[in-house]
Amino acid sequence: MSELSNTSNTSLTIKERIILFARNNMGLISTSISILAIGLALLIGGILIAIAGINPWEAITYLIKGSFGNRYGFGETLTRFVPLLFCSLSFAIAHKSGFFNVGAEGQLLMGAVGAVLVGAYIEGLHPVIHVLLCILAGIIFGALWAGIAGVLKIFLGSDELINTMMLNYVAILLVDYLIHGPIKPPESYLYVSATILPSAKLPIILSKTPLHLGFIISLLVTAGVFYLIYRTPIGYQMRTVGANRRAASYAGINIIWATVVALLTTGGLAGMGGAMELMGTQFKIVNGFSAGYGFDGIGVAVMGRYNPIGILLAALLFAVIRVGMGAMQRGAGVPFPLLNVIQGLIIIFVIASGYLTNRLSETVIGGRA
């Protein structure tokens, strides 16, 4: 196929024209395939709504109105976007560095614990300093929680996939214990953590909505993460380790160091997401604080194909679905777990559609992508 580019356009057969078009528009094609995959997932969601005896069109109206049909809903969607984005960045950076961190859920929870400790119990700080300290605590707690799996992997060769997954369950139970005693305000009869002080709360950036400063921070962090991965020496090392461990070792890259940085970053990002959710939205930890953001993050990263623009758009879509699903539940009585059905299907369809893009690039470029 390599002589294609040298041939003038006029002498091409239709097949060659199609191949040439595909070659020049791989991004467009893989995006269209992703959109088709999402459409299929939503279609199945609609069928399930109909099975429940609910008019799908009515339900979808609630979804659209609730998520971006009015000022408050729009703000809420962008608020949900924040933890989703952090969790997907967390999964993506681990993926680029060659390991699977499916523990964002637990790391996010632990990050929230770190932030609540600093936010509720340290008094008399200037708001800017207090906010920064809370975020730092979130990052450290998330990174340490991921670090458990990291230590087990680096020193004992234990598989991080199962360990990060198990740490989710342990974190959920640990937080449940904490809000039953150690961090529960003595006067409260509910199982909740102490509420953070006003100086640790993130300011609202869009009036009459819950949208807080964490939204801006999350966009800046996204830029920072991709700068780290693609424009710094350590990012290059992490990617090399992720692409081919053996080659990285021959190239003299310190694999342990690259893995440590990757693990701390992946855990830190999820932890920061937890801190943001706490400081901007919930202000205290309740049972079900995370509600699956960690797993949603995996779907977002897969759908966004691990690139910045893709992840931003995918996080926005997942936020729309999440907020819209709440509105559908309240308005039309659609059970909320439909959220997971649609997200699971999106993950399966988008990853399966990778086959089409692979085949296409095989035909077009003559090699497997």
Q: In whole angstroms, give the CA distance from residue 363 to residue 367.
A: 7
Minimum distance, C-beta of residue 124 to another protein, in the bound complex (Å): 32
Q: Is the dihedral of CA 65, 71, 76, 77 positive or negative?
A: positive
Site string for another protein, 46-65 (x = CB under 8 A): --x---x-------------
Q: What is the Cα Rg of the chain in Å?
A: 22
The answer to whether 213 and 280 have CB atoms below 8 angstroms apart is: yes
Nearest CB to another protein, comparing residues 48 and 122 = 48
221 or 320: CB nearest another protein: 320
339 binds another protein (CB under 8 A): yes
- Which of 21, 121, 177, 230 touches another protein (CB under 8 A)? 177
Contact by Cβ (8 Å): 202, 212? yes
Residue 106 Cβ vs another protein, minimum distance, rounded to whole Å: 10
- The answer to whether 341 contacts another protein (rule: CB under 8 A) is yes
Closest to another protein by CB, 45 or 280: 45
Cβ nearer to another protein, comparing 221 with 350: 350
Query: Based on CB atoms, which residue is closest to another protein, 163 or 218?
Result: 163
**Which among 171-179, 215-223, 234-242, 311-319 is the span making contact with another protein, rule CB under 8 A?**
171-179
- Indicate the residue among 232 and 307 with the shorter CB distance to another protein: 307
Is 348 a binding residue for another protein by CB under 8 A? The answer is yes
- Select the residue interacting with another protein from 161, 205, 219, 255 (CB under 8 A): 161
Q: Smallest distance, Å, CB 162 to another protein?
A: 5
Q: Is 16 in the site for another protein (CB under 8 A)?
A: no
352 binds another protein (CB under 8 A): yes
Contact flag: residue 165 with another protein (CB under 8 A): yes
Selected binder of another protein within 162, 247, 251, 256 (CB under 8 A): 162
Does position 223 bind another protein by CB under 8 A?
Answer: no
Least CB distance to another protein at residue 359 (A): 9
- One of 21, 57, 121, 169 touching another protein (CB under 8 A): 169
Q: What is the largest CA-CA distance in the chain?
A: 83
Under the criterion CB under 8 A, does residue 163 sit at the interface with another protein?
A: yes
- Ramachandran area for residue 287 (φ above 0: left; ψ -120 to 50: alpha; else beta): beta
Show the 3-state SS of the chain: CHHHHHCCHHHCCHHHHHHHHHHHCHHHHHHHHHHHHHHHHHHHHHHHHHHCCCCHHHHHHHHHHHHHCCHHHHHHHHHHHHHHHHHHHHHHHHHHCCCCCCCHHHHHHHHHHHHHHHHHHCCCCCHHHHHHHHHHHHHHHHHHHHHHHHHHHHHHCCCHHHHHHHHHHHHHHHHHHHHHCCCCCCCCCCCECCCCCHHHCCCECCCCCCCECHHHHHHHHHHHHHHHHHHCHHHHHHHHHHHCHHHHHHCCCCHHHHHHHHHHHHHHHHHHHHHHHHHHHHCCCECCCCCCHHHHHHHHHHHCCCCHHHHHHHHHHHHHHHHHHHHHHHHHCCCCCHHHHHHHHHHHHHHHHHHHHHHHHHHHHCCCC
List 17, 21, 159, 288, residue binding another protein (CB under 8 A): 159
Residue from 102, 143, 217, 328 binding another protein (CB under 8 A): 102
User: Which positions from 268 through 327 interact with another protein, judged by CB under 8 A?
Assistant: 295, 298-299, 302
Q: Rank residues 172 and 219 by Cβ distance to another protein and give the closer one.
A: 172
Binding site for another protein (CB under 8 A): 48, 52, 100, 102, 152, 156-159, 161-163, 165-167, 169-170, 173-174, 176-177, 180-181, 295, 298-299, 302, 335-348, 351-352, 354-355, 358
